[in-house]
Each structure stands twice: as structure tokens, then as C-alpha cells.
């Protein structure tokens, strides 16, 4: 089966790739498993050097890569740099420098005196073969945010890009192979949901999925059949809370970019904006003026701010959410038109006010250039509104009082909370991204993202192997009396009881007989 790659801004077929037959997945995984030990035996410094070579290629070929991302995904070419290429390069730089230290063995401190003859440590072991299923909205940055730490940790990877951005996925594989990553260590499979399902059931040691919550639940169900561990980065309905002392100019610009960047097709985009009643009118008036200046069109044009919607299914979801909100009470303050022509789908940035909290627009992930703005009276009300969601990926607070902003941020139910900015959590390699509630279970970036690629294995060495252990068989009343007294000595809060038990331990120890 052939997959057509279509430019969503023009409807033009820009390339073709061959879909991977699902029944080939078990062999691909088996070959990767055979190749993984040799890859893990390579020093991490050398693995890091190969990935730095990969980064150098991304820099040299940045224009070609940015153009392909823009044409296949539809986003403005500027965003191909700011949200894809530059963050990816920083991820490589970060992990290639820090991974060795983050994966260093951890010495275990043994507190119980009777076990002081032991030496113990924790070693971080790669899972083996990991499957990475990535979406179309950030076809370079999202998968490489997991591929890079997976390879550095010593895993083999089987990567399935979205069927809507197969060319960026194929380019990623070609460049990794070009710098010397073995083909059976880094594998790419192409196709739709049936190939993704086959990958989950193929025998991989862990699955990483980024996408919608509904699909994430299906991935979890499939993985549960073999108890395959999963890391899920799913959908959200991120809230922005604007307090009455916020800088209106900065907050409106932040709301606009946070809601409309990548045509709103971002898991951490602002999908709900709550504004204090004292500044609500000034906020919405300023926002309307700014939104009307944004330019919609083909992403390859450097003057375009808002690109195309990726495909008709997403276009229909956005349209349905807006129509539902309008039918319930909402008023469109800016934008609101829908253009469907010749297999292309465009929606101008749209702002709605007077939106019902029961509408789809306030409860389901819209994933489009739509921003509902809702008025609140008190901070407690704003926090309640923001937390009234089954999602929780990120959130933001806008205020002149940074300390107070942090107090509000701590009360927001989200995996990330930002004061006076939006989305940046995903662009900081040493940060951490992940959700609560139905926004996911795993973490990416930072030490936590690297540790998703390994499991902690405990090692212990007994340095006095000939010594009989007091807790071994056989049990008797003398042994019981010894451990009762030892418990007081080790853990009693009373200094007097500790001292008293110390004098009792020696004679009780002498009465213990071990066969």
C-alpha cells in the first residue's frame, strides 16, 4: 500500500512512501532486539558523538528540512525553525552532554547495621526495544524528543511517524542512518492505525505514544494484553488565567500566540482563557484588534502567520465545536469563517466570548485556531473553572505579582504551570513535560524524560558470604527477643529506651544459635 503525502495548504501530493505490512512488525522488532546489545555496548560518549553529528546535519540542511516540514504539515516556515528545528537541536545538545551523568550508577546507602556487610547500587538499564508512535503536528521535534534519549540510553527504536507526515519521518530515519546509527538499531515503519496497533502488539519492551486521549486509551488497552509498559503524552484543554493586575498588552499577545501557533494544533496550546471581570473588556478589545492583523495562508510564505488545517477530519471537529458554542450562547468576536476548497482547509484565528461552560469548546480538545475567553470574578472561581476539566497538561497565570502568580500556579491541576508565558515548557530541554488526569502518564525532556527510557535495576554484593545471617532459619524465642529489642534500639524516639535496649542486645545476641 502506498501512502500519499499531501500539502494541506495546496492539496498537492508532494511525495509517496510505502506502508509497512503489519505482519512484518514482529520480525522488525526481533531484528532490533538482536542488534540492541551491541549498540548498548558502545560507550555512551560515542553514541552521543553520533547524535551530535546528526545535529550538525540538521544545521547544515535546515532550509531543506524547514521547507519539508512546512509543506507536509502546513505550518508557517518560521515555526518550522522556532518550534521544530531549534528545540530539537537543543534536545540533542542537552542529552548528549548530560545523559552519562544522569545514567550513572547510584550508590545505595544501607542504614540497617546488620546489613552493613553489603555493598549495593542501582544501575539504569535500557528497556531493550522501544516503540515510538508520534503525531503529525510536530513531526520532527516530538519524535526526536523521545528518539534521542532512547538511543543514548542504549535502546533500539522502532519508530512510526504519522501517516500525514511520512516524509518528515522518512527524512529523520535517513539522516540518522547517514551519521552511522545502525539500521536495525533505528527502524522506521510507515502506516496508519493498523501499523500502530501492530507495533504495540509486536513484542517491544515499552511503547511511547503521543496523540489524542481516545487513541491513547486504545494503546493502553492493547499494551495491557502483554503488560507492555506505556508512556502516554495525550490531549489537553489548557487554561490561561489572567488576573486583574496583568499587563494587558503582554497577556493578549501571549494568549494569541498560545492559542493560534501551529494553527492551534498543539497539545499545550491555550484552549480556555479566563480573564478577570475588571479587565475583561479591555482584554477582549485589544485581542480583537491584534487578531485581525494575523495573516492566513500557505506556510511556505514567510509573511504568513496562520497555516492550513492538516486534514478534513480535524477541520470538521473545529467547525463542530465552534457551531455548538454559538448555538448555546457564544458570540464570535473575531474570525469565525471556514474555508474548504480543493482539498484544503483554512480557518482564521477565531475569538469567542459569552461561551457556555457546558459547550464542547470548553470541554473537548478542539486542536484548532480557536480561543474562547471567559469572564471570572474571584481567583477561587478562576481556579475552579481552570481545574474543571478531565485534562491537565499545562496552564498559565498572568499577573504583575510573580509571587502571587506562583501561589495560583500551585493550585492549578496540570503537569506544568507557567507564570506570564505560555507553551515554553515544551521548548526547554531541561524542563519536564507531561500531564495529569487524562492528559497522560509519562514525561518527556529533562532527567525524567531520559529515565522513561530505562528501568532501575538493583545490584547487591554480600562482602561476608560465609557469615550466617541472624534472620535466617531457624526461628526461636531468643531470636524473637533479640529483634524486639533491636527494634527499640534502632527506632525508638526515647533516648532512654535506646540506651536501655543497647545493654540488652549483647546477652540476647549470645543466646541466638544458628545451624
Known catalytic residues? Answer: 233, 267
Q: Residue ranges of the alpha helices (H) in 208-361?
A: 213-224, 248-260, 280-291, 312-328
Q: In what order do the strands lie in the sheet with 129-133?
A: 186-188, 156-160, 129-133, 206-210, 230-233
Q: Which of 379, 353, 414, 371 is nearest to 245 (CA)?
A: 379
461 bridge partner residues: 119
Distance CA 160, CA 150 (A): 14
Distance CA 457, CA 127 (A): 11
Q: What is the CA radius of gyration of the chain?
A: 28
C-alpha cell at 365: 480538545
CB–CB of 76/299 below 8 Å? yes
Residue 474: is the preceding peptide bond cis (ω within 30°)?
Answer: yes
Grid coordinates 493560534 are at which residue?
260
CB–CB of 134/148 below 8 Å? no
* Full DSSP string of 63-108: HHHHHHHHHHH---HHHHIIIIIHHHHHHHHHHHHHHHHHTS-EEP
Q: Which of 283, 252, 282, 255 is nearest to 271 (CA)?
A: 255
User: Does residue 124 sit in helix, strand or coil?
Assistant: strand
Q: Is 4 exposed, middle or buried (0-12, 13-18, 19+ CB in 10 A)?
A: exposed
CB–CB of 76/307 below 8 Å? yes
Kind of pairing between the strands at 394-398 and 230-233: unpaired
* Full DSSP string of 377-408: SSHHHHHHHHH-SS--SEEEEE-S-HHHHHHH
C-alpha cell at 88: 530539537
Distance CA 272, CA 352 (A): 10
* Full DSSP string of 222-240: HHHTTT--EEEE----EEE
Residue 364, phi then psi, degrees to nearest 5:
-110, 150
Q: Is 500 exposed, middle or buried (0-12, 13-18, 19+ CB in 10 A)?
A: middle
CB–CB of 25/118 below 8 Å? no
CB–CB of 402/409 below 8 Å? no
Q: Which of 145, 149, 265 is nearest to 211 (CA)?
A: 265
Amino acid at each position: 500500500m502506498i501512502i500519499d503525502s499531501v500539502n494541506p495548504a495546496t492539496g498537492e501530493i508532494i511525495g509517496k512512501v510505502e506502508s509497512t505490512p503489519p505482519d512484518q512488525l514482529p520480525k522488525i522488532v526481533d531484528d532490533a532486539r538482536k542488534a540492541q546489545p551491541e549498540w548498548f555496548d558502545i560507550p555512551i560518549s560515542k553514541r552521543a558523538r553520533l547524535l551530535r553529528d546528526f545535529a550538525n546535519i540538521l544545521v547544515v540542511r535546515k532550509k531543506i528540512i524547514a521547507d519539508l516540514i512546512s509543506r507536509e504539515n502546513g505550518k508557517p516556515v518560521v515555526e518550522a525553525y522556532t518550534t521544530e528545528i531549534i528545540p530539537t537541536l537543543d534536545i540533542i545538545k542537552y542529552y548528549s552532554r548530560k545523559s552519562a551523568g544522569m545514567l550513572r550508577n547510584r550508590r545505595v546507602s544501607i542504614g540497617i547495621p546488620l546489613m552493613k556487610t553489603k555493598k549495593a547500587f542501582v544501575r539504569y538499564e535500557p528497556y531493550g526495544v522501544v516503540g515510538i508512535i508520534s503525531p503529525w503536528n510536530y513531526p520532527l521535534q516530538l519524535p526526536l524528543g523521545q528518539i534521542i534519549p532512547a538511543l543514548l540510553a542504549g535502546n533500539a527504536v522502532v519508530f512510526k511517524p504519522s501517516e500525514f507526515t511520512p516524509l518528515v519521518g522518512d527524512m529523520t530515519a535517513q539522516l540518522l542512518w547517514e551519521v552511522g546509527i545502525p539500521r536495525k538499531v533505528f527502524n522506521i515503519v510507515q502506516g496508519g492505525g493498523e501499523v500502530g496497533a501492530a507495533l504495540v502488539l509486536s513484542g517491544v519492551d515499552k511503547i511511547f505514544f503521543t496523540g489524542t486521549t481516545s487513541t491513547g486509551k486504545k494503546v493502553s488497552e492493547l499494551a495491557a494484553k502483554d503488560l507492555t509498559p506505556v508512556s502516554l503524552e495525550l490531549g489537553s484543554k489548557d487554561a490561561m488565567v489572567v488576573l486583574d493586575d496583568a499587563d494587558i498588552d503582554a497577556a493578549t499577545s501571549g494568549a494569541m500566540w498560545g492559542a493560534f501557533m501551529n494553527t492551534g494544533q498543539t497539545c499545550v496550546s491555550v484552549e480556555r482563557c479566563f480573564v478577570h471581570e475588571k479587565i475583561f473588556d479591555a482584554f477582549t478589545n485589544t485581542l480583537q484588534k491584534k487578531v485581525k492583523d494575523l495573516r492566513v495562508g500557505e506556510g511556505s510564505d514567510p509573511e504568513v502567520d496562520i497555516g492550513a488545517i492538516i486534514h478534513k477530519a480535524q477541520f470538521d471537529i473545529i467547525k463542530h465545536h465552534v457551531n455548538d458554542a454559538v448555538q448555546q450562547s457564544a458570540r464570535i468576536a473575531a474570525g469565525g469563517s471556514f474555508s474548504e476548497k480543493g482539498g484544503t482547509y483554512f480557518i482564521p484565528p477565531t475569538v469567542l466570548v459569552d461561551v457556555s461552560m457546558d459547550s464542547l469548546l470548553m470541554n473537548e480538545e478542539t486542536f484548532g485556531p480557536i480561543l474562547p475567553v471567559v469572564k471570572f470574578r474571584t481567583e477561587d472561581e478562576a481556579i475552579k473553572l481552570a481545574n474543571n476539566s478531565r485534562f491537565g497538561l499545562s496552564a498559565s497565570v498572568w499577573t504583575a505579582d510573580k509571587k502571587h502568580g506562583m501561589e495560583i500556579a500551585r493550585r492549578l491541576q496540570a503537569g506544568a504551570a507557567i507564570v506570564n508565558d505560555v507553551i515554553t515548557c515544551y521548548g526547554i530541554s531541561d524542563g519536564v513535560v507531561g500531564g495529569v488526569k487524562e492528559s497522560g502518564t509519562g514525561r518527556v525532556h529533562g532527567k525524567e524524560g531520559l529515565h522513561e527510557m530505562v528501568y532501575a535495576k538493583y545490584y547487591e554484593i554480600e562482602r561476608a558470604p560465609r557469615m550466617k545471617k541472624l534472620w535466617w532459619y531457624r526461628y526461636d524465642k531468643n531470636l524473637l527477643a533479640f529483634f524486639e529489642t533491636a527494634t527499640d534500639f534502632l527506632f525508638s524516639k526515647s533516648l532512654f529506651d535506646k540506651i536501655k535496649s543497647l545493654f540488652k542486645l549483647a546477652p540476647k545476641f549470645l543466646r541466638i544459635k544458628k545451624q
